[in-house]
Chains A and B, each alone.
Chain A
Amino acid sequence: MNKINILFFATMRTRAKRSSLELEIKSDTNVAELKEIITAKIPALEASLHHTLVSINREYAFDEDIIPENAEIALFPPVSGG
């Protein structure tokens, strides 16, 4: 098993009503599978997950990417800084 920490920002944090979540996942889990696991834990996120950006260890990540050991994951909407 792989213990990971998930961070939520902006609308994702508001909808999840929390800023982080610790999870244990199987070692070969990819980003798409992780989204399903998160949705099962926090159903309020289901509607927004299709346009959510995901990062793994502070780099953008995509559905087929495998989650590495002890990863820091973040879920957030397209950015709006400036």
Chain B
Amino acid sequence: MKPSPFPTIFSITEDEIDLNTLLDKITLTSTGAAAIFTGMVRGKTSRTGKAQGIKYAPHETTYLEYEAYKPMAEEKMLQVAKEIREKWGVVEGIAIVQRIGKLYPRTPTVLIACTASHRDTGVFEAARYGIDRLKEIVPVWKKEIMPDGEEWVEGEYIPTEK
């Protein structure tokens, strides 16, 4: 496969996620659209539901503590970016960043952004695919610290290939 001429930014970091800097790095002169997903720590969960295989009821979160297997996580982010490019050849720049460490409510924890020439190119779907895949294969875990205890959050996706 010949290397893509388009920028791919990926990192596991303890630093604050800087959207403007990332966006600048994935914006080309041909770029006219960016789809950005960012997730943040929820301080108050008000609905019952299921996330990453774990059933949850309404509760409060004091903070989340994220841990990563950094070298593998960065390799898997690169794999996610490669999969996005295979599915959406129109995507120009890709940025994937996971923040780790102790993160408090309202703090952005993850960001995925894809750029393209226009918004109707599939760029929204590409970013959606990126966050879904990150949550499946990038080795990062979080421990939830609540007012009355703490618990590791475990996902449910079992990879079937390298």
A residues with CB within 8 A of B: 7, 9-11, 14, 51, 53, 55, 58-61, 74, 76-82
Which residues of the partner chain B approach A55 to less than 8 Å between Cβ atoms?
69, 72, 139
Which residues of the partner chain A approach B98 to less than 8 Å between Cβ atoms?
81-82
Q: How far is the CA of A63 from the CA of B67 in the complex (A)?
A: 25
Which residues of the partner chain B approach A10 to less than 8 Å between Cβ atoms?
67, 141, 143, 152, 154
Contact A53 B159 (CB under 8 A): yes
Which residues of the partner chain B approach A81 to less than 8 Å between Cβ atoms?
66, 68, 73, 98, 110, 134-135, 138-142
Any A CB within 8 A of the CB of B71: yes
Contact A80 B158 (CB under 8 A): no
Looking at chain A's contact residues, is the secondary structure mostly helix, strand, loop, or mixed? Answer: mixed
Known contacts A74-B69, A81-B134; 13 additional CB pairs below 8 A are A10-B152, A11-B141, A11-B154, A53-B158, A53-B159, A74-B139, A79-B138, A79-B155, A80-B155, A81-B110, A82-B52, A82-B131, A82-B135
Q: How far is the CA of A10 from the CA of B52 in the complex (A)?
A: 15
Q: Which of B103-143 contact A (CB under 8 A)?
A: 109-110, 131, 134-143
In whole Å, how far is B162's beta carbon from the nearest beta carbon of chain A? 4
Which residues of the partner chain A approach B53 to less than 8 Å between Cβ atoms?
78
Any A CB within 8 A of the CB of B161: yes
Contact B138 A80 (CB under 8 A): no
Contact B154 A77 (CB under 8 A): yes
